[in-house]
Amino acid sequence: MGRVYTIGRASELKYRHMFKKEPTIIKRPVMKVTFPIFLSLLMFCSQLSAVTSLDLPDMGDSTGTMLSPEFERRLGQSFLNHIRRHTPIQDDPEIETYIQSIGYRLVANSDSNERQFTFFVINDSLINAFAAPGGIVGINAGVVLNAATESELAGVLAHEIAHVTQKHMARGAEAQSKMSVPMMAAMLGAILVATQNPEAGQAAIVAVQGGAAQAQINFTRSNEEEADRIGMQLLARSGFNPRGMPGFFEKLQKQSRYTAQAPEFLRSHPLTNNRVADSRARAEAFPVNMRFQESASFEFIKAKLIVLSHKDPKDAVKFFEYKIKNEEFPENIAVLSYGHALAMGAAGDHGRAREQIQALLKSKPENSSFLLAAADLEMKAGDYEAAFRHYAVARNLYPDYRPVVLSYTEALLKANRPAEAKELLKHYAKYNTPDLTYFNYLTRAEEESGNSVEAGIANAEYYYLSGETRVAIERLRYILQQRDLQPDYYQEERIQARIALYQQDLEIERVMLKK
């Protein structure tokens, strides 16, 4: 996944002296669901359109009996943890935050805006997206790279959000009323493996084919159509262009005509001519002069992903040089110059990259993407003080902007300034909800500052958010058991309170596993 401390395993090795029971703990996930079962978990969520029935399932409350909100949350949390282990998730804070901002903007305008969602990008140039239990929504980088506008990207996210808000997973599970919870988990799709490796995806399906065959024939085409309809309403309510959804569908359909294999998105979300036509008709029902808002960030995020999608940065340099040379629209030059600078920096050409970034900053000194790129370039060049000057400007302009805080924190840790990194994180947490990356960096900052107890507490929070509740409990118990750590009274009270909370959650997980 790129950086050393992204998912906690490396920090686990770094701080092994703190936690010596790891061989018997770390290999036990919270929910004892094997890799093939998790792979088949996703197929259920994504392939909800396999049969021809156009009758919507009952919208009553009975769907909550099979997949309760708590069970969905737990299942989604464990599933997301599994994805992090086996799939290259994009961990760039700027890209993460951008995708989350689009997702949250759509969710805020849905009829189920109280539901929690998690949005992330998978480092894969194939076009695909999926929704899973617990509000988990993932898209491949290929969706962003192939979207012409922000509204097209938002259309894909809106479609997946609609699958969640309309309880399509619960409906499908309810259709198999005699299915046990483990079998239901085994049926919730092989899309993840199918995305990365279609043959492996087929193998995962075969592994549970007895239940899968029966469940798949109960998936309804109406779910896809309903997701289109609800998704388009979300686009309009959220200020996006509702024509973005049919525009992206039509693009995919055309692409499949000229390639031997259809995009993954078409195979997991089948598009018929009637469905595309219906989507276009719904979009055209909105006023032609309807106002919509698309941020300038889309093009910059896309440029960054283009650089990251090239295995050799020099190829990315050539790509942007060609685009700049042949560009007909002056307004696109800033985006192309930005991508060119990122590519040159990644290729080690720091001098030319610096000149390009400085020119961009001169034209737009408050652009957060330019400031972050300038700071990152100086870190690559080894000029930490220059990088910190850029970070200081960025933080002054955007004090609680997650990409600035996390990128600045990482730079401080690399520069062996953990105390400053810790203070930056603590201030951020006063006004924002900490996440996995936050606790991962806080673990490092506390340990490297000599605060082993606080490092252990932060590490436990990391594992709890990862869905590994048992590991989190063991982390905290270890702190209490070791005489050399000696937590003070207030730390011990915090630890005991967190253990009590974690144990309650662990008991819920045990009950679910017995179903």
| Catalytic positions, written as ranges | 160, 228
Buried b (16+ CB within 10 A) or exposed e, 400-433: ebbbbbbbbbbbbbeeebbebbbebbeebeeeee
What does the chain come to in residues? 515
Instruction: Show the 3-state SS of 418-486.
Output: HHHHHHHHHHHHHHCCCCHHHHHHHHHHHHHCCCHHHHHHHHHHHHHHCCCHHHHHHHHHHHHHCCCCC
CB atoms inside a 10 Å sphere around CB 508: 15
For residue 236, the SS3 value is helix
Question: Contact 410/441 with Cβ under 8 angstroms?
Answer: yes
Tell me how far CA of residue 70 lies from CA of 37, 67, 163, in angstroms: 20, 8, 18
User: What sign results for the dihedral spanned by CA atoms 403, 405, 408, 412?
Assistant: negative
254, with CB counted inside 10 A (0-12, 13-18, 19+), is exposed
Q: Are 145 and 306 in contact (CB under 8 A)?
A: yes
